Each structure stands twice: as structure tokens, then as C-alpha cells.
């Protein structure tokens, strides 16, 4: 089992405060300006630090829900090749880092 899957299982079933970082989560975290890094552990660190700096919770429930929402958003709206920023609910809050 890989790190991402292990984080999903540990967060969802056992309540561990972990963020599952896959390609979608990493890409969105960079586009949203939460990290400049690409290695999953580094992305996780930066996202948690960003949540804490913003006063948002970084507990297990928040991280699990955030991870799942970022994955769905990355599949449906903020895709790798053609992000649909015009249709995106995050547009007003997103610096669109790296988006042409
Ligand atoms: S505004 Fe664009 S870059 Fe930002 S999250 Fe939405 S689709 Fe992605």
C-alpha cells in the first residue's frame, strides 16, 4: 500500500490527521498558492502549515475531507491540461499559479 492510500485509510477509518496527496491534490495546492513544492510529503507539510496559518482546522476530519474534495475538484474542474477557471467556485480566492 502506498503512502496516499495509507493516508486515506488512516484518516478515514482511524481518525489520524493526515492529508492524502495525489497528483490532483499536489496540482491544486500549487495552483492555489499553498505550496511551491511537488514532493507529496512536502505538499502535505505546506498545506497543513497554510491551514494553521489561516486559523483553519488541520484535524483528521478536515484533512480527510479537504483531500477528497481536492481530488474531485481536480478531476472535474481544475484538470491538469485545461482548468476551467471560468466555472470554478474557487476563482475569487485562487491566484491561479502556473495557469496560462
Ligand atoms: S480558479 Fe482555476 S486554477 Fe484555481 S482552482 Fe479553480 S480551476 Fe483551478
The rounded Å distance from CA 27 to ligand 1 centre is 10
- Residues of the chain where predicted confidence (pLDDT) is lower than 70: none
Task: Report whether residue 75 contacts ligand 1, using a CB cutoff of 6 Å.
Answer: no
Nearest residue to 25 (alpha-carbon basis) of 74, 63, 58:
74
Torsional sign, CA 49, 54, 59, 61: negative
Mutate which of 23, 89, 90 for ligand 1? The one with the most ligand atoms within 8 Å of its CB, which is 90
The rounded Cα 92 to chain-centroid distance in angstroms is 17
Q: Are 30 and 16 in contact (CB under 8 A)?
A: no
pLDDT, residue 58, reads 81
The model's pTM is 0.92
Residue 33 Cβ < 6 Å to ligand 1: no
Name all domains of the chain by residue range, CATH numbers in brackets: 3-93 (1.10.1670.10)
Is residue 3 classed exposed, middle or buried when 0-12, 13-18 and 19+ CB atoms within 10 A define those classes? middle
pLDDT computed for residue 81 by the predictor: 96
Amino acid at each position: 500500500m502506498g503512502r496516499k492510500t495509507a493516508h486515506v485509510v488512516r484518516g478515514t477509518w482511524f481518525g489520524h490527521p493526515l492529508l492524502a496527496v495525489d497528483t490532483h491534490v499536489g496540482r491544486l495546492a500549487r495552483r492555489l498558492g499553498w505550496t511551491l513544492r511537488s514532493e507529496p510529503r512536502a505538499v502535505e507539510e505546506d498545506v497543513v502549515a497554510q491551514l494553521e496559518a489561516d486559523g483553519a482546522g488541520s484535524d483528521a476530519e478536515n484533512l480527510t475531507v479537504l483531500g477528497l474534495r481536492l481530488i474531485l475538484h481536480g478531476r472535474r474542474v481544475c484538470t491538469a491540461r485545461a482548468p476551467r477557471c471560468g466555472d470554478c467556485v474557487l476563482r475569487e480566492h485562487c491566484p491561479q499559479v502556473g495557469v496560462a
